[in-house]
Structure formats: structure tokens, C-alpha cells
Amino acid sequence: MIVNLAPGESLLPGAREDLDALFHEADVEAVLLPLVPQGEGAFPRAARRYLAAWDRRFLHRQNFFAPATRCATRAPLAGARNADAAPVLAAAIARGARVEALAAAGVATRMGDDLARWVAHFRAEGEAWGSLAAREPAYAGFLPALTRRGWWRHNLLQLPRRTIEVLEAVRSPSPLPLALHLAREAAFTAGSARTAAIREL
């Protein structure tokens, strides 16, 4: 079993044991683990709460699109990002293998230390997904619908919907989760626009 982590990341206590138990089952091909921002300041606490609420909808078995996860696999991946894992997971699902998710375990990350790290993480994730879609057009449907007028227009048009979405998911009186969500979506869109073919609406 290989846990595909980025530099500075580590498994949280108990995750290794849970992974070992799952990989003892021969039909388990991979396991998704949530990223869990570390730290006790207001920003990392808000990042933890936001990801636990918003990204939990992606954390389920037989899924390959989960941008705030890392993946444990039987063989090493090309990289740690979800875009690196997605083709491997999709192929495993297609041939009937199991892709599991460990919502109770996770990977410690510093991506939530401050806004700069948060934006850098999701911009890089968007770039990785854009590159994947450019290589394999079947994955283009997971990217924002961009036009030649630019990613900024896409984000402006999506602002009302995203505001409602995150308020319903996080249910926090603090403005930080909404700010995190908007920054994340803008960064992911900008990253994917750099590397994917721009599609006309």
C-alpha cells in the first residue's frame, strides 16, 4: 500500500490502521482520505470546518472526483493530487474494483495556514485538472464552463449560486467559510483556465 502524499503532509493518528484493514480485502484498489488543515488560528479552524462540511459530499466510495483528498493505492501514482489519482480510480471502478473513502481518518496538511497557501493549493489543483482534461477530454466535464471572456467572468456569474451553496453547507455565522469557498473556486477556475482548452458556451 502506498499513501500518495505531498511534501509536508502526514497521516493523522489511526489512519494507517484503517487503511491496513481495508487493503487486506483483495478487491479494494484505492482509498480516498480527506485533507484536514492543521493549526489553531481562526483561519485554519475555518478551513477545517469548511472542508469537513463542503467536501464531505465528495468523500464516498466508488468516486474519483474529490479535489480536497489524497489517495492510498496499491501502486504509486504519478503525483499526490486528485487529478493524478482520478484516471486510476476511474479505471478501477470501470473494471469492478472497489474505491473506498475514510471520512473518519485523514491527512494533516498546512494548506489552511493562510489565504496564500489556500489559494496556491486550489490553483495548482485546477492546473492539474486542466492538464488532465487537455490530455483526456472525458474529464473536461469536471471543469468550470469557461469562455474566451475569461475565468473572472465565470466566477462573477457564479457568485450568487456559490454563496447560497456554502451557507447551506457550512451553516456558520462567520464570513470566513464563504471567503474560503469563493477564493477556492476562483483559484481552481483560474488554474484550470491556464492548462485546459477553453470551451465556448
| pLDDT tens digits, one per residue of 73-85 | 999 999 999 999 9
Instruction: Choose the final residue of a domain: 109, 139, 172.
Output: 109
Is the same domain home to 45 and 100? yes
Calpha distance 86→63 (Å, rounded): 9
Residue 121 and residue 81 share a domain: no
Same domain, 12 and 74: yes
**What residues form DSSP beta bridges with 100?**
31
197 confidence band (pLDDT: 50, 70, 90): low
Helices (H), 15-104: 15-23, 42-54, 82-94
Kindly report which listed range (18-22, 30-34, 50-54) carries the lowest average pLDDT score. 50-54
Whether residues 19 and 105 share a domain: the answer is yes
Domain count, the chain: 2
d(CA 192, CA 172): 29
Domain shared by 11 and 101, yes or no: yes
Q: Which residues pair with 28 in a beta bridge?
A: 98
pLDDT at residue number 177: 79
Which residue did the predictor score with more confidence, 98 or 150?
98
Mean pLDDT to the nearest integer, 164-174: 64
Does residue 147 register a pLDDT over 60? no
Residue at 6 is within a domain: yes
Specify whether 85 is located in the same domain as 166.
Answer: no
Residue whose entry in the numeric block shows the C-alpha cell 482548452: 197
Residue 200 lies in a domain: no
Q: Which amino acid is at 83?
A: A
Closest CA to 36 of 101, 102, 110: 110
Burial class (CB in 10 A: 0-12, 13-18, 19+), 138: exposed
Q: What pTM was estimated for this model as a whole?
A: 0.86
106/158: higher pLDDT: 106
Q: Which of 81, 109, 137 is the last residue of a domain?
A: 109
Instruction: Please report the pLDDT score of residue 200 as a whole number.
Output: 47
- Given 75, 109, 143, the domain boundary residue is 109
Q: Which domain holds residue 27?
A: 2-109
When the pLDDT of each residue in the chain is averaged and rounded to a whole number, the result is 87
